[in-house]
Structure 1
Amino acid sequence: MKKLFIILSLVFTSNVFGQTYTLKKCVDLALKNNPTFQRAYLNAELSNANTADAKARNLPQIQAFFAQGMNFGRSIDRFSNDYINQLYNSTYGNIQLGIPIYKGFQTRNLIESAKLLQEAETQNVEADKNQLSVNLLKAYLDVLAAKELSAAAKKQLENSEIQLARQQKMMAAGTSGKLEALQFSNQAASDKGGLIDAQYNLQIARLTLFQLMNIKPNDAIEFESIIPYEIGQESIIEIAVNPVEFLPEYKSFDLQGQSFDRRIKANQAENLPELSLSGNYSTFYASSNPERSFFQQVNDTRNGSFSLNLAIPIFSKFQTSPKTQQLKIQKKMLDNTRKVRENTLQQDLESVKLMLNAFGERYKNASQQVEISRENLNLVELRIEAGTINPIEFSLAQANLERAISNQIQAKFRWVLQKKLLAYYQTGEFDFL
């Protein structure tokens, strides 16, 4: 029983405190928890309600009316049409029916406009999802880069501490002076400060990622490393496809433009004649006629009517023209916003291509610098052991290696980011989802 408890405890601990999140899992959590993205869903639900409201306008209008009153003073008897002066009760009931038949297809255009806006909001949800995925990708890569930079800073500090310990032994043996030991001690302290900064940057990067996922930061959560491509080895494949044709935000612009066209037609329909059918059915009871009972009077006074109505607007154009002009201007503003977005998209696409090549070349150069700097540092350490070099040369070699490793790590993850963004711009999809 005790062994079973220990095993279950280990399993529980590994599940809770040893979690590893993939990039896809981070995106899924953000889509589920991020309040900014949830607002896009609420806008889509609102557009669904607006569509239902537009459809409801095409339904017949039916209403029932009942009234119970008390009459006193002089009045006309509803049965004899004589003047009477008495207190009596009256009950009145009425049912009315109104059916719109035609008004320049106004209702149809309003329904189509609402449907188009509903589809546009669906595309906006996808656009917000893509933008959130891009933000998650950047934050995720920042965490991985900060983690590698922190590991490199830690390794550099360990190397400095090894050299410091060696110098302290040499000083104790009388083969090295206190000045050299102090210089190595200063180098170790400087590297420790670099490690503190790297760890702080890692914490900030992790915090940003947790905030995008809208979950509580947890130091026990690790993030899966992304195996990079052959950095700088792949050539850019030009695909003759305009991302405007398949990215959801531009589909939304098209749908919103079509919706404006429908709204303009619906507003212009206010200038056309309106044809409708109406019906009425009513009855009443009055206590001033005691000769007939309640139900007899209700039966005697039943009456109804149907009518076909035609309403012809005369001066409505003066009211609808400003509204039509407003809608046309709003559509032009929408078209202008689309053009601005298209220009920005083309600039981003060209920038991604340039940066992909640039970071690929920078990574190659930084990798060569790392090899040279590491070999140089190894030679310097050998000369330190032989006592033929001073600590300043070690500090310089250590700093060169640190700078080369930092450049290599940053170039690697920036290249990966540009590679994934380029794939998104060319296909409209992310390879990590």
Structure 2
Amino acid sequence: MRTSIIIAIFCSLSAMVSAQQYTLEECINIALQNNVNIKQQELNKAQRHIAYTQARNELLPSVNASAGQNFIFGRSIGLDNTYQNTNSSQTSLGVGANITLFDGLRMKHNIDAKRADLSAAEADLEKFKDDMEISVATAFLQVLLQKELLQIANEQIQLTDANMNRRKELIKSGKMAQGEIYELEAQRAREEQNKVQAESNLKLALLDLAQIMELDDFSNFDVSAPPVESIISEGVPLSPFDIFQTALLTRPEIKAAEYRWQSSEKEVLMAKSQLYPSLSFGANFGTGYYNMSGRPNDSFNKQIRNNMSNSLGFSLRIPIFNKFQTRDNIRLAELAAANNQLEIDKVKIDLRKRIEQAYQNALGAQSKWKATQKSELSGREAYRFAQEKFDNGRANPYELFQAKSSLTQTLSDQAQAKYEYAFRLKILELLKN
């Protein structure tokens, strides 16, 4: 299962902190349990398993019992072989068995085809789970991003509050005019608005994750995770070619397409088996009881013992002409097999495109992440310098506000770049395994 892969990338997640706080592993497990599409695919797998079992059971003989009761009114043939006006009744009992000895290997090919169908259903189920896991991981990362943006908003408010307190002290001591506080108060109001928006975005991200998990109650839903830096410490894999070569051996969509092609190849052989004769063997046992009114009849038990009969026989069926149905069935099966072969090529091409796009996206996100790290250092230094200038009276409040706004934007861009990079790495890792 791919769950262990994502969890390994996220490192060892801490256990649930509270009743409403979930780790990534718990989110994925809940989503896999609740998702309707996965449940439907599990039912489809169960149906394929039953079909495979039925195909194997066709090798067994069939055994059937029969019983009949007839009542005859009017003229009936008597013991002297003449018809008489009398009523009679007849009871018949029998058991028969039949087994196919040779059918052109149709049953064998059918078993192989149903086995391949079952394997394809298992691969489809794995693909559904992969898609669900990456959806949960994506939504989980989005929650972490919104949490960090909210933290940035809170930190900016705390920084502004500290500046306001410092200026109020200067105003009290007469070293600064009262008007110097108004710009900070306006800035504080804007930052409070940004915080409210960040809180709303976090709630929406949590709602999105909870809906993907299909939770019944998510009013107090929250997540717990380690710092995202641990996610992106491994870096981008070596090359898209290496990822693609590994994916060819492991990806469930490739396996599913190959299994469907194998099944269609067996169906071609099944169609061709209709060209060969079929041979079956049968055995029957029967007995009966006959009662005619107006004359003495042996007892039921005696007649049952005396009327026993057994038979053994072989049945050979040789196809000669069936309106070209066998020929057309073979052609249709061959066309289906050819189409499934093309489907394998199509899945491989699509997978190659996805890997190359994911690889380039990861490289771009990595470069953006590194660039924002440098921007953070320069932004913090620019804000520190603007703060010193303002404190020394060499800068006005607007210049300080501009430096602080620039730093806030840089921190926001850095957080988004960081989580985008983590998301791109998730995509690559899932495509590889």
TM-score past 0.5 threshold: yes
| SS of equivalent residue, structure 1 residue 304 | strand
Residue 249 of structure 1 is matched in structure 2 by 253
Cα deviation per residue 1:291-336 (whole Å; 9 max; x = unaligned)? Answer: 3111222223222222211112233362233333333333333333
- 2:331 maps to 325
1:253-402 matches, within 5 Å, as: 253-288=257-292, 290-316=296-322, 318-386=324-392, 388-402=394-408
Name the structure 1 match of 2:93: 93
Q: Contact 2:124–2:256 at 8 Å: present in 1 too? A: yes
Summarize the Cα distance change of 1:283–1:264 in structure 2 as closer, same or farther, 3 Å threshold. same
Give runs of aligned pairs for residues 8-407 of structure 1, distance below 5 A: 17=18, 20-77=21-78, 79-164=79-164, 175-176=176-177, 178=179, 181-215=181-215, 216-217=217-218, 219=220, 221-229=222-230, 234=235, 236-238=237-239, 240=242, 241-288=245-292, 290-316=296-322, 318-386=324-392, 388-407=394-413
SS at match of 1:272: coil
Taking a change above 3 Å as real, the CA distance of residues 75 and 173 of structure 1, as seen in their structure-2 partners, is farther
Could you report, residue by residue, the CA deviation over 1:171-223 in whole angstroms, capped at 9, with x for unpaired residues?
Answer: 77774355x54443332222222222222222222222223333332536431
Alpha-carbon distance, 1:168 to partner: 6.1
2:160–2:184 contact (8 Å) kept in structure 1: yes
CA distance, structure 2, for counterparts of residue 52 and residue 234 of structure 1: 47
Measure, in 2, the Cα distance between the counterparts of 1:132 and 1:230.
19
* Shift of residue 101, structure 1, vs aligned partner: 1.1
Q: Deviations over 1:361-404 (max 9, x none)?
A: 21221112112222222333344445554443233222211211
Q: Give the superposed CA RMSD.
A: 2.8
Give the structure-2-normalised TM-score: 0.85
For residue 271 of structure 1, give the secondary structure of its aligned residue in structure 2.
coil
Task: With a CA cutoff of 8 Å and minimum separation of 6, indicate the structure with the bigger relative contact order.
Answer: 2
- SS at 1:219 equivalent: coil
Give, as a single letter, the amino acid of the residue that structure 1 aligns with 2:156: Q
Classify the secondary structure of the residue corresponding to 1:17: coil
Deviation per residue, 1:243-295 (Å, 9 max, x gap)? 21222221222122111111121122223222111222222212205331112
SS of residue in 1 equivalent to 2:154: helix
Work out the CA distance in 1 between the residues paired with 2:250 and 2:227: 27
TM-score (norm 1): 0.85
Query: In the TM superposition, what is the alpha-carbon distance from 1:242 to its structure 2 partner?
Result: 4.1
Amino acid at match of 1:319: Q
Number of the residue aligned with 1:6: none
Letter in 1 for 2:369: Y
Q: Percent identity over the alignment?
A: 24
Structure 2 unaligned residues grouped into runs of 5+: 1-14
Q: Is the 8 A contact 1:114 1:259 kept in 2?
A: yes
Instruction: Give me the whole-angstrom Cα distance separating, in 2, the residues matched to 1:230 and 1:136.
Output: 16
Rounded Cα–Cα distance in structure 1 between residues aligned with 2:25 and 2:58: 44
Q: Any conservation in 2 of the 1:17–1:221 contact (CA below 8 Å)? A: no
Task: Verify the 8 A CA contact 1:232 1:361 in the aligned structure 2.
Answer: no
Contact 2:89 2:291 in 1 (8 A): yes
Query: Does the 8 Å contact 1:20/1:224 carry over to 2?
Result: no
Is the deviation greater in 326-335 or in 51-60?
A: 326-335
Distance in 2, Cα, partners of 1:347 & 1:291: 86
Taking a change above 3 Å as real, the CA distance of residues 186 and 339 of structure 1, as seen in their structure-2 partners, is: farther
Read off the aligned partner of 1:202 and give its amino acid letter: L
2:12 is matched with which residue? none
In structure 1, C-alpha distance between the alignment counterparts of 2:35 and 2:354, rounded to whole Å: 25
CA distance in structure 1 between the partners assigned to 2:336 and 2:400 by the alignment: 67
Aligned residue for 1:217, secondary structure, equals: coil
Give the secondary structure class of the aligned counterpart of 2:324. Answer: helix
SS at match of 2:84: strand
Runs of 5+ unmatched residues, structure 1: 1-13, 429-433
Q: How many residues align?
A: 412
Q: Secondary structure at the match of 2:129?
A: helix
Single out whichever of 410-419 and 260-269 deviates more from structure 2: 410-419
CA shift for structure 1 position 125: 2.5
Q: Offset of 1:53 from its aligned partner? A: 1.1
